[in-house]
Amino acid sequence: MKKRRLLAAAGAPLALFSATLLASEKLYNFAFKRVDYVPETSADKQKYADAYWSYVDWLHRQPLQTWHLNVNDDENRLVATYVPAKTSSDRTVIISHGYKGDGETMANYAYMFNQMGYNVLLPDDRGHGQSAGQYISFGWQDRRDYLGWIKSVIKQNGSRTTIVLFGVSMGGATVEMMSGEELPDQVKAIIADCGYTSIEEELAYLLKRQFHLPKYPFVPIVSFINRHRMGYFLSDVSSVEQLRHNRLPIFFIHGEKDVYVPSWMLKKNYQAAGGPKAMWQVPNATHAESFWIGPADYQKHVAAFLDQYLSK
């Protein structure tokens, strides 16, 4: 009887530990594993569906080019769509898409920059769209992939070209993480819309908000899984740390009512950033809604920022 009690007492923590590992594995696959479709947008943005599809239709009518990186490497092959400006232009924007999106989902921003006279490059990040990759890196591997896209733009448009980096949500965090890299002189400015501070803080925040789960032990276990699968811990994936090394003009945009990437992350990113910087917190906008709530106003703010730093 005593032996059975001891076994039962020992078995309970083991069962809890096993259940925690299983839950963490499921969480990792849910959050990090690629999906080969674009999930439906949130309910609060369904009202913009017609406008969104009109931008996608516009994109498909353009004289598009398909670009590749690592074309002979099946595990690292990357794909992007290039939209030349209406008239010859020495300005190009590289647009980084959001979580589980792809380049096409940024058609509205492509249209905006096209109207402003820019060439537009729309990459599909690792684990998204037509690009290879089993897992989503939340900007960390992407920041280096984008160095390849920058080189491609310079090769296409010449050494005198001017490049702007722009991203929304995960894409905002991606360009924030790029800010800490050694970027070519052709890169003149960065615009980050609703990017998170770090994937560790974002995951912990969403675990609590959406699933009512604590950071510990789940985030450390997910981090360990990611180290095994992708080669780095979640604590490595930090916009804040990269922004400390930034020297380029950077414009932060964030919805005032964003509860997916909360506004305290905007303030933390802004405070960390080196270089010239500006911040626009958009009234009444939820996550990634700042453009949709007023496209003309959004374009006006973006253009005003860029006009300060790009030569006429």
Residues pairing with 162 in the sheet: 91
* 19 belongs to a structural domain: no
* Alpha-carbon Rg for the chain in angstroms: 21
Structure tokens that stand for 95 in this block: 């647009």
At residue 252, the 3 state secondary structure works out as strand
Residue indicated by tokens 């002979």: 72
Number of structural domains found in the chain: 1
Check pLDDT > 70 for residue 162: yes
Q: At 157, which CATH number? A: 3.40.50.1820
Give, for 8, the enclosing helix (H) or strand (E). helix 2-32
Burial class of residue 176 (count of CB atoms within 10 Å of its CB; 0-12, 13-18, 19+): buried
Task: Return the amino acid letter for 112.
Answer: M
Full residue range of the structural domain in which residue 89 is found: 41-198+237-309
* 290 belongs to a structural domain: yes
Question: Comparing C-alpha atoms, which of 226, 242, 232 is closest to residue 31?
Answer: 226
* 7 belongs to a structural domain: no
Q: Are the CB atoms for 38 and 100 separated by under 8 Å? A: yes
* Mean pLDDT, the chain, integer: 94
Split at pLDDT 50, 70, 90, the class of 10 is: very low
Q: Vertex 38, ends 262 and 303: CA angle to 5°? A: 55
Condensed to tens digits (0 to 9), the pLDDT of residues 243-283 reads 999 999 999 999 999 999 999 999 999 999 999 999 999 99
* 216 belongs to a structural domain: no
Split at pLDDT 50, 70, 90, the class of 13 is: low
Give, for 22, the enclosing helix (H) or strand (E). helix 2-32
* 28 belongs to a structural domain: no
Condensed to tens digits (0 to 9), the pLDDT of residues 166-208 reads 999 999 999 999 999 999 999 999 999 999 999 999 999 999 9
Q: Are the CB atoms for 129 and 75 separated by under 8 Å? A: no
Residues 6+ apart with CB under 8 A from 283: 256
* 224 belongs to a structural domain: no
Q: Could you tell me the pTM of the whole model?
A: 0.94
At residue 282, the 3 state secondary structure works out as strand
* 34 belongs to a structural domain: no
Question: Comparing C-alpha atoms, which of 281, 285, 260, 282 is closest to residue 270?
Answer: 281
* 81 belongs to a structural domain: yes
Question: Comparing C-alpha atoms, which of 121, 147, 246, 133 is closest to residue 195?
Answer: 246
Q: Vertex 227, ends 259 and 26: CA angle to 5°? A: 55
Condensed to tens digits (0 to 9), the pLDDT of residues 91-129 reads 999 999 999 999 999 999 999 999 999 999 999 999 999
